[in-house]
Structure 1
């Protein structure tokens, strides 16, 4: 059994380190306010931030990053565990469109899914942070060319210590393991002109210590003593020790070969996705018996979020996404959603995707049913949800997959250019929404 790994970082270097080691991680950016996390930790210890050593800082931030992703995923699991209503399953390739193949209470439906809610182990969440300690001072990312150039000049011919903190969390059990790696980095002799040219590449601006071992900066490093992989943001030996310390075998995380094999059926979209988009486990196309290509190797899912009229208590509007032009059927309107990741159930995938795309926090909604269009090797799950009493969802485009988000009155949905499948299903969805009892 392959155990999914979630990397709480958007660092290409950390992701590439894992991929080359046979592990393609799912990327979930932590969005931790790093200065605030350090200030809080220093205050809790009753010391000034200045007195927190680099080794302690990287441990604090690695834990904060992994913990933030853990908290977000636990909120998804909690919302799924509270699911009510009914799951309706249609198998149109067997029974025809518009038919109902089966019905099941949502609590039984989610209990029978393979996902985070019912996992005995995993997914594993790994958070990392790196700092370069030079002459007793911790140096993070320089951010500006001027600061990077000043640092690199001062480090010429000198030695510093690169610390990398690691925090590994088993989401299923809550168990946590922490460790830090270190390496002594000695810089070579170089000219000011060399450094000006290097800084002009932009490479040293957003990396700890203003240098990288795997990039153009590697030519200016004379030697490394200690763990070289930690210098690249993630120490594989350290991480393997943490994994095995939780009683998990390292080979159980290997999924890169399987992922490549699953990708063989992938075909390019009509328009290319933005260059910064990262391939995630579960991304890819399914060549379906219906004659179409469907996105999501594990299927796909989205959230149809409804809002009640404050006076009548009846459902009055739904939140829709105007899809980015580069996406499948770009320019149409549908529900926020996407491919289900490895290790997720359809409801979990829908809740996570709707937060990533539209800022729909699982803490603010109640799942009240679902509709599954099952094509056999692929299915799309529409999760019906309502704003929780006393909560209000403020939609926001958190990524580049939307042109806009809008609350649309029920009687105006059909006037929009709808995604094909959503438009076909909307009359049934509308009847289902109208049937929801008003809040008493």
Structure 2
């Protein structure tokens, strides 16, 4: 069984180190206030920040980052565990007259679907549609068989994670990894609250010690220039702290690595050209080993990976302290190359937009050749949150949170709900809660899950998670990343007037009816 790893950092070099070593991590940025974390730790120790050693500083910050992400996942798991209500599962491929589930739809099927109907289409399709295999089948008007179960009842069959008919992110283009051949793995089915081990959460921090001073990222050209001039022809120490947390047990392992770096006697012209690349501005010590700066390093004593920001030997030892074998984290096949964000080599024909270069494949990302004859996004399926607000007096639903999808995404420019591919190691509800926070700032501690709707295609399914704001709590939605043009509370009566994602347009009448019914039930 592969144990998922969550990297509490958006550092591309750190992710690349892991990927090259066979581990494709889930990326979750910690958003830690680093100066505040150091000040708090110094105050607890009864010293000033300046009195903290470089070793202490990188350990403090690495743990602060790991703990912040641990708490974020804890909030997701707690909200999912507290879910109430029922899960309605629809089986459109079992409907009378739909035809052989595994067959590719006929041309008449395709012409019945609007050109924009592509909730599972590639980023290339935009609002003009894509390949026929990418266009979502339209099951409106079909008498679809359904089952009703308590929301925590394990889903039977494949596609347990869910999939993207009502807002899946077919946004971040990717391909399958060592464990991602299009089948759902056991860890994705278990969920965060039932796993005996993992996922592991890794926090990292790096600082450069030079002439007795600790240097982090310079952030400006002037600071980088001053440091690079002082460092040439001399040596310094690069320290990297790691904190690894096992989510299942809460156990923590910490450690730090360091290496001595010997710099060449580079020129002022070299410095100016190096600064012009932008590379030294956002890296600890104002230099890199694996980039433009590597040519100006004459030698290294110690752990070279630690200089890049992630020490593989240290991470392996920390995993061992938690009882996890490093090889249990491998989820990338030997020789597999990390796919670029725009793996299909195309752009949105409607806008000329391309996925942002920061978008990288994460565990669970990839295409499924669905039994319905189309392609869908999410190796473990996908899910999203339909969050509703109720009137404080009447209890009636007044608004829902809607996502205006980025132009480069599938059916870009339409409105749907925030959500995406279910990651390895999480359930459909957990995936929906994580994605809705990452994309739309829907804070899981401020909402209550009250039901779900799962459209099951056999080897692929999408779960729409119904939720209300908790009484006395307020969710302030906003676009947390570049997958949305805007996120906003939309009046319940205004929703059908928006240009909706194809499947959302089909499902909205029943979704509204269900929200109204749940809102009328006795207080939970």
TM-score, with structure 1 as normaliser: 0.95
Give the total of aligned pairs: 438
Partner of 1:104: 149
Say if 1:269 and 1:176 are closer, same or farther in 2 by CA, change over 3 A: farther
Say if 1:110 and 1:288 are closer, same or farther in 2 by CA, change over 3 A: closer
| Partners of 1:173 and 1:259 in 2: CA distance | 33
Q: Deviations over 1:219-269 (max 9, x none)?
A: 111111111110110110011001111111111111011995999xx8567
Conserved 8 A contact 1:95-1:101: no
| Partners of 1:230 and 1:415 in 2: CA distance | 54
Say if 1:268 and 1:153 are closer, same or farther in 2 by CA, change over 3 A: closer
| Partners of 1:63 and 1:337 in 2: CA distance | 29
Question: Shift of the alpha carbon at 1:22?
Answer: 0.6
| Partners of 2:412 and 2:270 in 1: CA distance | 46
| Partners of 2:190 and 2:396 in 1: CA distance | 34
Q: Deviations over 1:271-321 (max 9, x none)?
A: 231222121111122222323321111111000001101221111221111
Q: 1:279 aligns with which of 356, 361, 366?
A: 361
Conserved 8 A contact 2:5-2:202: yes
1:14-163 matched pairs, under 5 angstroms: 14-95=14-95, 97-109=142-154, 113-163=189-239
Q: 2:467 aligns with which of 359, 364, 385?
A: 385
Q: Does 1:420 align with 2:502?
A: yes
Partner of 2:421: 339
Conserved 8 A contact 1:145-1:199: yes
| Partners of 2:345 and 2:474 in 1: CA distance | 38
Equivalent position SS for 1:223: strand
Q: Which protein has the bigger helix share? A: 1
Partner of 2:10: 10
Q: CA RMSD in A?
A: 2.0
| Partners of 2:153 and 2:271 in 1: CA distance | 62
Say if 1:133 and 1:261 are closer, same or farther in 2 by CA, change over 3 A: closer
Conserved 8 A contact 1:281-1:342: yes
Conserved 8 A contact 2:19-2:338: no
| Structure 1 range deviating more: 379-388 or 216-225 | 216-225
| Partners of 1:354 and 1:109 in 2: CA distance | 22
| Structure 1 range deviating more: 286-295 or 309-318 | 286-295
**RCO higher in structure (CA 8 A, sep ≥6):** 2
Q: 1:227 aligns with which of 284, 298, 303?
A: 303
Conserved 8 A contact 1:88-1:100: no
Equivalent position SS for 1:83: coil
Show structure 2 runs of 5+ residues with no match: 97-141, 161-188, 349-353
| Structure 1 range deviating more: 245-254 or 270-279 | 270-279
Conserved 8 A contact 1:315-1:436: no
Equivalent position SS for 1:252: helix
Show structure 1 runs of 5+ residues with no match: none
Q: Deviations over 1:82-126 (max 9, x none)?
A: 000000101101136452432111233489942111111011110
Say if 1:351 and 1:62 are closer, same or farther in 2 by CA, change over 3 A: same
| Partners of 1:436 and 1:346 in 2: CA distance | 20
| Partners of 2:446 and 2:292 in 1: CA distance | 46
Q: Deviations over 1:340-387 (max 9, x none)?
A: 111111001100010011110000000000000011111110000000
| Partners of 1:243 and 1:42 in 2: CA distance | 28
Equivalent position SS for 2:152: helix
1:265-344 matched pairs, under 5 angstroms: 271=348, 272-344=354-426
TM-score, with structure 2 as normaliser: 0.81
| Structure 1 range deviating more: 90-99 or 395-404 | 90-99
| Partners of 1:261 and 1:103 in 2: CA distance | 43
Say if 1:8 and 1:187 are closer, same or farther in 2 by CA, change over 3 A: same
| Partners of 2:511 and 2:204 in 1: CA distance | 43
Say if 1:81 and 1:110 are closer, same or farther in 2 by CA, change over 3 A: farther
Q: 1:183 aligns with which of 217, 234, 259?
A: 259
| Partners of 1:259 and 1:297 in 2: CA distance | 20
| Partners of 2:402 and 2:270 in 1: CA distance | 52
